[in-house]
Amino acid sequence: MKKILSILTAVCCTLITGCNANKPENSSVNTEPETTVVRLALGSNGHIFNAIAEEQGYLAAEGITVAYVPVENDSEVFQGIRDGLIDVASNSGTNLPLQYISEGMDLTIFGGYMLTGCMPIFSRTETKWNSIEDLIGKTMACEPNLFAITGPLLDLGYDPLHDITWLETENQEERIQAVEDGTADFGLVGTSLNYAINSNPNLKVLTYASDILPNYSCCRVEALTSWINANPNTVKALLKAWIRAMAYYDTHHEETVSLTVNLIEEDEAYVRAYLDNPRCDLNIDPMKSSVERAWNYMEDLGLLDNEAEQINIDDHINIDLYKAALDECQAQYGEENPKFYERMQAQYARYNQ
């Protein structure tokens, strides 16, 4: 994996989603950022919107700079946030931030990075596929906390944690090997491994996580609630830069492919295996309803801390700063891509009530 391999991946992210006690005052006031440097966790998985925002000058226009903080794994991400070394995380999924919130860490989700990835459910080429119920009674190479799979099975009346044998491996490449050698019947891997599945003659993609649970919420953007409350204008500035980057991405797909190829130093076919897949949905919207659904699934599955029932997850979602950023971007830059901003406003209205 190269420098920004999971530029669009990840498994996938919670940051500022505003409600009630977590709502910063005067979040819509257009004032200078409280701090000009935002420290963003960055491991092998990068951030395509931030790369675009840097290249196109959107961050500079907002008066901020993003400083990358290298991390090796998600544990380092959240420890860095606790220690005050990291301000914002964006590529650690939704399940992990929710888990930490359930354990008492005061995080707030304020936006998104990847809404859905093209995360393939795969098997050997001779395997037939009818529906998600085909997993029942079989061995699945994946962690059971992936609510995009276990949640819908729960809705169908199954006990997915016990009705499926879960094979947890050291890394995702081992999931591929487990399916290929017959140790597991099915597997699921992250977006960036599409090329590895598609180029393996012994394997085939059966379906994708987003086909099982649309808008499942892959990576959300999160930070400490206290940091957000102390820096609302900085947060809004960051969101504005990323929204503009998303608008650029919306109309410059080929340019983004080239940017990604250069950043991760991989072949174009490798990058196109996920960037060209319509299920790979990079999206800044906090998608409050998707986060709430994920929380409820994880709670019902017993994947959250026992104290979770005392927590109102809406207190850890800030939608107001995103809406302020979206409104300002539309007013200032809406003529550059009117349909994009109309679509984002409609999405906000639908998923953030």
Whether residue 8 contacts residue 277, with contact meaning beta carbons closer than 8 Å, is answered with: no
Amino acid identity at 216:
Y
13 lies in some domain: no
Domain harbouring 162, CATH code: 3.40.190.10
5 located within any domain? no
Helix (H) or strand (E) holding 273: helix 268-275
233 and 98 both lie in a single domain? yes
- Sign of the four-CA dihedral 248, 231, 38, 87: negative
Instruction: Name which of 191, 211, 353 is nearest 282 in CA terms.
Output: 191
One domain for residues 77 and 152: no
- Tens digit of each residue's pLDDT, the chain (353 residues): 444 334 333 333 333 333 333 444 444 445 799 999 999 998 766 789 999 999 999 999 999 999 999 998 899 999 999 999 999 999 999 999 999 999 999 999 999 999 999 999 999 999 999 999 999 999 999 988 899 999 999 999 999 999 999 999 988 999 999 999 999 999 999 998 999 999 999 999 999 999 999 999 999 999 999 999 999 999 999 999 999 999 999 999 999 999 888 877 788 998 899 999 999 999 999 999 999 999 999 999 999 998 899 999 999 999 999 999 999 999 999 999 999 999 999 999 999 98
Phi-psi region at 83: left, alpha or beta (left = phi > 0; alpha = psi -120 to 50): alpha
The reply to whether 230 and 347 lie within a common domain is yes
User: What is the structure's pLDDT at 105?
Assistant: 97
Claim to verify: residue 347 and residue 242 sit in the same structural domain: yes
Q: Tell me, yes or no, whether 3 lies in a domain.
A: no
DSSP class of residue 1? Answer: -
Point out the domain boundary residue: 212, 238, 262: 212
Q: Amino acid identity, residue 261? A: V
Claim to verify: residue 347 and residue 246 sit in the same structural domain: yes
Residues 295 and 327 grouped into a single domain: yes
User: Which pLDDT belongs to residue 102?
Assistant: 96
Assigned domain for 105 exists: yes
In what side-by-side order are the strands of the sheet with 203-208?
A: 165-167, 139-141, 186-188, 120-124, 203-208
Amino acid at 46: G
Find, among 49, 13, 3, 6, the residue nearest to 193 by Cα.
6
Q: Which two tokens stand for residue 54?
A: 């840097």
Residues 282 and 144 in one domain: no
Tell me whether residue 7 is in a domain. Answer: no
pTM, full prediction? 0.88
Check whether residue 94 and residue 168 sit in a common domain.
Answer: no
Assess whether 175 and 98 both reside in one domain.
no
Q: Which of 197, 212, 227 is the last residue of a domain?
A: 212
20, 75, 188, 285 alpha-carbon torsion, rounded to 10°? 30
User: Do the domain assignments include residue 89?
Assistant: yes
3-state secondary structure of 32: coil
| Structural domain boundaries, residue 331 | 20-117+218-351
Cα 270 to the center of its chain, rounded Å: 20
Residue that finishes a domain, picked among 185, 212, 239: 212
Around Cβ 188, how many Cβ atoms within 10 Å?
26
**CA-to-CA separations, 282 to 65, 143, 210, 256, 261, in angstroms, rounded:** 21, 23, 13, 12, 17
Q: How many domains does one find in the chain?
A: 2
Q: Are residues 188 and 229 in the same domain?
A: no
Query: 10 Å Cβ neighbour count for 335?
Result: 8
Domain assignment present for 300: yes
Q: Give yes or no: residues 256 and 328 share one domain.
A: yes
Return the pLDDT at 45. 63
Given a contact cutoff of 8 angstroms between Cβ atoms, the answer to whether 218 and 117 are in contact is: yes
Residues 228, 329: one domain?
yes
List CB contacts of 5: < 8 A, sequence separation 6 or more. 44, 45, 46, 192, 264, 266
Residue 319 lies in a domain: yes
| Rounded Cα–Cα distance for residues 129 and 123 (Å) | 9
Question: What are 96's two structure tokens?
Answer: 């992990």
Q: Are strands 107-116 and 281-282 parallel, antiparallel or unpaired?
A: antiparallel
Contact between residue 171 and residue 108 where contact means Cβ atoms under 8 Å apart: no
Cα 293 to Cα 35: distance, rounded to the nearest angstrom: 33
Retrieve residue 199's tokens.
């180029």
The rounded distance, in Å, linking the Cα atoms of 250 and 124 is: 35
